[in-house]
Amino acid sequence: MASGKPKQSPGCKQNDVSALARLIKESLQSHKMTQKELAIRSGMSEARVSRILRGGTVRLTEQDINQLALGLKKKPKERDEMRYLAWPELYEIDKALCRGDGDIFTVNHRLAEKGFPLLGNDYEE
């Protein structure tokens, strides 16, 4: 039976979401921007921006992060920091890609050690 709560990565804890909210709030302050201005600049609804800033359980998408990063005038590296706060498992995947040792078994082993969701598929070809 569904609980009605959005699904999150096992490694994504409440304080991780709050860390993203804190980062966005700090950026708003440094740019002297309001929540409403961020919503307009990012093309998101004010209600969605508000939910994200409250730091609750919001099912974020890659598009959300990209839109927020654009609205906050972030550089790609800063956008990636936002992604890592939303999905900490991406940090492990990106590290493997940069090292060039990114075979699926090695990466999945590292992800499993940290309690993150594994890469792969649920179907047979």
| pTM, rounded to two decimals | 0.74
Average pLDDT on 56-68 reads 89
Average pLDDT on 29-45 reads 96
Give CA–CA dist 63/79, Å, rounded.
Answer: 11
Q: Which of 17, 40, 16 is nearest to 28 (CA)?
A: 40
Measured N-to-C along each axis, helices 46-54 and 35-42 cross at an angle, to the nearest 10 degrees, of 120
Is position 107 within any domain? Answer: no
Is position 24 within any domain? Answer: yes
Question: If you count them, how many residues does the chain have?
Answer: 125
Domain that holds residue 77: 14-86
Q: Which of 83, 37, 79 is nearest to 60 (CA)?
A: 83
Is position 112 within any domain? Answer: no
Give CA–CA dist 89/106, Å, rounded.
Answer: 14
pLDDT at 122: 54
